[in-house]
Amino acid sequence: VRKVTVNLGERTYPVIIGREILSNIPEICLELNIPKRVAIITDKHVAGIHLTSIKNSLRHHGFTVTEIIISPGERQKSLTTTNRIVTQLLEARLPRNSAIISFGGGVVGDIAGFTAAIYRRGIMLVQVPTTLLGQVESSIGGKTAVNHPLSKNAVGAFHQPRFVFSDVAFLSTLPKREIICGLGEILKYSMLQESILTFLESHLDEILLGNPEILEDIICRCNSVKAALIEEDEKETNPSGGRAVLNLGHSVGHALEDLSKYKLHHGEAVVIGLRWELEIARAAGIIDEHIYKQYASLLNRVPYHPDISYIKREAVIKKVAAHAAGAGMVLPKGMEEIVITKEISPKIIRSVSAKFIR
C-alpha cells in the first residue's frame, strides 16, 4: 500500500493507493474517525460489479450503510439528480454527523462530492474512485460540481475528502474506452514532470493493457504532482500557474466535450485537446521544437483516433478563442515548463483546427 499526502493544514488527508486492498477500508475509516453512519453513492455499472464487497466489508465492521444508486453518464451531473440524492438522504435520515462515500468514476465523484458539500451545510466525504481517471485525477483536490445546460461544472463547491482510497483492482473491470480516458489526464502530467514523460515512453503499452503494477505506479506519480499543486493553490486563485496548469488540454478538450453533446467522454476530449494544443503551442512559436517532437511522438502512440467530423469546426474555433481570450490557454513551452497565455489569436486556432476537423 502506498500513500500520498495532501497537506492542507487541518484539512490534510491521505490518498491510499494499492492493489486488492478493499478489505482495509473499514480500518482506515475507523482510524480517521469517519462516522459509523454512511451513505455510499454509486452508479448502476459500478453497483452491479463492486457494491456488495464494499458494503459488506463496512457493515461487518459496524457501519450503517445507505446505498444510493444513480444512472451512469455525464448527464447525471445535474442539479436535478443532486436534488434526488438529497431527497434519498433525508428519507434515510442521514444526520449531520455522517459521511458520504463516493464510489465510482469522476461523474459519481463530482456529484457525490457536491452533495456532501451542501447536504445539511456540509458533511464528511470519502472518495473511492473506481475509474483510472478518477484515481489519477478527479478524486483528489476537492473540486466538486454539477453541470448546467449552459455550462459544464457551472455549479459546485470546494470540498476536500477525508481520504481517498484507490484500489487498482477495480480497474480490471473497466471498459477499454475508460482506460483511454484516464490516459488523457495522465498524458498531461508528462508535460508537468519529466520523470512521468520518461515513464510513459517506456510503459504506455502496459497502461493500455491494464498492467496493475504499472497502473499503481503511474497513479502514485500523478497524485504526487497533483498534491503539490493543490497544496500551493488549493482554490485555483493563482492565474499564472499553480493549479491552473492542470487545465492543459482542457481549453480545447472542454469545447469538444461540450460540442459533442457529451458523446466524447471527458478524458477522450482531453486526449484530442492535448494534441490540438500541442500544435497551437507550436504554431504560436511557444514550444521548443525538440520538446514538441517528444510530446508529439508520445501522443501519436495513443490508439485513439475518433471521427469528430460531426462537430462543427467554426463552433470549436469560437469556443476555444473565447476561452483563450478569457481564462487564457495553458500550453507546454519546455521541459516541465508551462505558460498560460491570452495571446493566442483565432487565426492560429483556425489554422490548427484544419488538421483535426474537415
Which segment (7-15, 41-49, 316-324, 341-349) binds ligand NAD by CB under 6 A? 41-49
**Cell 504560436 -> residue:** 284
State the sign of the Cα–Cα–Cα–Cα dihedral 187, 192, 193, 198: positive
User: Using CB under 6 A, which residues numbered 88 to 107 contact ligand NAD?
Assistant: 104-107
Query: In degrees to the nearest 10, what's the CA dihedral of 157, 158, 161, 167?
Result: 80
Grid cell for residue 216: 499503481
323 binds ligand NAD (CB under 6 A): no
Which one, 166 or 353, has the nearer CB to ligand NAD?
A: 166
Catalytically annotated residue among 221, 250, 265, 282: 250
Should residue 108 be labelled a site residue for ligand NAD when binding is judged by CB under 6 A?
Answer: yes
Residue 173 interacting with ligand NAD (CB under 6 A) = yes
Number of residues that bind ligand NAD (CB under 6 A): 30
- Residue from 94, 119, 137, 328 touching ligand NAD (CB under 6 A): that is 137
Work out whether 267 is an interface residue with ligand NAD (CB under 6 A): yes
266 binds ligand NAD (CB under 6 A): yes
Q: Is 37 a catalytic residue?
A: no
143 is catalytic: yes
Q: Segment near ligand NAD (CB under 6 A), from 116-124, 126-134, 301-309, 321-329?
A: 126-134
Binding string to ligand NAD for residues 49 to 88, with x set by CB under 6 A, is what?
x----------------------xxx--x-----------
CB of 229 to ligand NAD, least distance (A): 11
- The residue range among 129-137, 314-322, 325-333, 337-345 that interacts with ligand NAD, by the rule CB under 6 A, is 129-137
Burial state string for 276-293 with b = 16 or more CB within 10 A and e = fewer than 16? bbbbbbbbbebbeeebbe
User: What are the residues binding ligand NAD (CB under 6 A)?
Assistant: 43, 45-46, 49, 72-74, 77, 104-108, 110, 130-131, 133-134, 137-138, 141, 143, 170, 173-174, 178, 181, 265-267
Q: Which residues are catalytic?
A: 121, 143, 185, 226, 236, 243, 247, 250, 254, 266
